[in-house]
Amino acid sequence: MKSKCLKTVAIALSWAVVMVGLSAFAQNAPTPERVPIGHPVPYWMQPIWMPSGPLPKAEPQQGFNPLLTLQVGQSYEGVDYNGANCGCLPPDTNAAVGNNFVAEAVNVEFRVWDKTTGEVLLDEPLNMLFGAPSGGDPYVVYDDLADRWYVTAFDSTGAGLFLAVSSDGNPLNGFATYDLTNVGGFPDYAKTGYNYDAIVVSYNDFGSLGGYAAIVAIDKAAILSGTLVTYNSVPRAQFRAIPPAQMHGSMPGDPMWFVSTDGTDQGGNSIRVTKMTNVLSNYPTFTYWRLPVKQYRQATTADQPGRPGSVTVYPNTTTTQVQYRNGHLVTGMASAVAKDGFVYPKLLYYRVKVMNGKASLLKQGIFDPGRGAAALMVSVDEDRNQHLGMTWIESSHREYLSMWVGTTTKKARVAVGPGGGFFFYSSRLGDYSSTVLDPADGLTFWSANEHIGNDGASDIWRTHIASFTVQ
């Protein structure tokens, strides 16, 4: 299906040269090497160590009985490394749900399923969605206020972002595509949120800001009428793009909210909540709160069967998704805590009250999958009964990289994407996962995350989609 391209892009440099150049930018120093988008993993980037002989096939760790409080519904494989028309690592999986559709975006593919049957309805490369080649790092969001789907990703030059806006609430009916060239530099790690008035994208500006966060706000009423109107601003210095909230139930004139770690991703004992007012302006007002939380630090270790410490923990200690419902902001991240000496990443979650224009911490918690187990690529949402649903990747000395979903209620959890093999390539897991609430009932969570295939040298970075409810 062809997308309607409203603003064409001139590609001045060859794709290979551009993307190799982009890969030189760092997320944080020191930076694990990242394979440029669109390039296969070269042999020389595989670890020197190789297992001698077959490794035991580890079964996922047994959690609490999920039937006590957790019921899994749909569960099916998403776009994987071999099927993404990319040959690049990692896939950066995330998904959204709305009406009768589930959509997933990865490097560099877009797929839509029938929510009820799991049938694939659309499967196309991002260059077909945007009408031009994309550098990847895609993110998909369903806006339940406007009944629209949004997809963002690097544009063809890497100096801007593509934004695709669906024609209506059916993602099969086509998208209008825009190029946000005015963001400038190398807009990395882009995250998308929205309120009643605006679509808001935050990103790390590797142009004039040297990698610190910047924001572009898009006038929603204008873009739904076919006109791109954008506003650019810079909040207080913050690394690893502060994710904007998906503000369900937002009203006209509401502020935009963000939640992030406080300053860096090395660790801390507070989180930062940011309020943005006068959103549709190049000069919005930012207000900040530092909310004290239990100390967290960047984790150092994640194990797998056959070789301790051989799974990357990068990136961790960063929020990637924020949801707003009924006056609450909910977010989560993977980071190490004092309980195990700040070694293995655990699942940290936060619920923040934002009423009368002010922010306060309602609840914080640690979901620990077990001694010596690592929880990676975390995302959290909240249902209408204020139960939290979450996903993470888990690994340990007896468990290959597996996708889990769970809830804090009685700590119920279940593996929906079991790991099947040894993970050879290990320097980066991705940029994000996602957990979103189905707007149809306000009770069903949908999560997208990664797990390992049976052959970790080739069948790697598989993705999985699962729905579940807390009962």
CATH number, domain containing residue 144: 2.130.10.10
Give the Cα separation of 150 and 164 in Å (integer). Answer: 6
Domain presence at residue 81: yes
Closest CA to 244 of 199, 286, 285: 199
Side-chain half-sphere CA neighbours of 201 within 13 A: 32
Amino acid identity at 88: C
Q: Is residue 307 situated within a structural domain?
A: yes
CA–CA dist 363, 331 (Å, integer): 11
- For the chain, how many residues are written? 471
Is position 50 within any domain? no
pLDDT in tens, the chain (471 residues): 433 333 333 322 222 222 323 332 223 323 333 333 333 333 223 333 444 444 444 444 444 444 457 999 999 999 988 778 777 777 889 999 999 999 999 999 999 999 999 999 999 999 999 999 999 999 999 999 999 999 999 999 999 999 999 999 999 999 999 999 888 789 999 999 999 999 999 999 998 888 899 999 999 999 999 999 999 999 999 878 899 999 999 999 999 999 999 877 889 999 999 999 999 999 999 999 999 999 999 999 999 999 999 999 998 899 999 999 999 999 999 999 999 999 999 999 999 999 999 999 999 999 999 999 999 999 999 999 999 999 999 999 999 999 999 999 778 899 999 999 998 877 788 889 999 999 999 999 999 999 998 887 777 779 999 999 998
Residue 305's Cβ-count burial label (10 Å; 0-12, 13-18, 19+) is buried
38 located within any domain: no
Q: How far apart are the first and last CA of the chain?
A: 40
In a domain, 310, yes or no: yes
By the 8 A CB rule, do 1 and 110 touch?
no
**Strand bridging mode 322-325 / 245-247:** parallel
CB contact at 8 A, 188 and 203: yes
Residue 244 forms beta bridges with which residues?
258
SS (H, E, C) 234-293: CCCCCECCCCEEEECCCCCCCCEEEEEECCCCCEEEEEEEEEEECCCCCCCEEEEEEEEE
What span, in angstroms and rounded, lies between the C-alpha atoms of 321 and 191? 8
**22 in a structural domain:** no
Tokens read off for 418: 């079991």
**Is 0.85 topped by the overall pTM?**
yes
- How many independent structural domains does the chain possess? 1
Question: Two tokens at 29?
Answer: 């120093």
Residue 47 resides in a domain: no
What are the two backbone dihedrals, phi and then psi, of residue 236, each rounded to the nearest 5 degrees?
-55, 145
Write out the residue range of the structural domain in which residue 216 sits.
70-470
- Indicate whether 384 belongs to any domain: yes
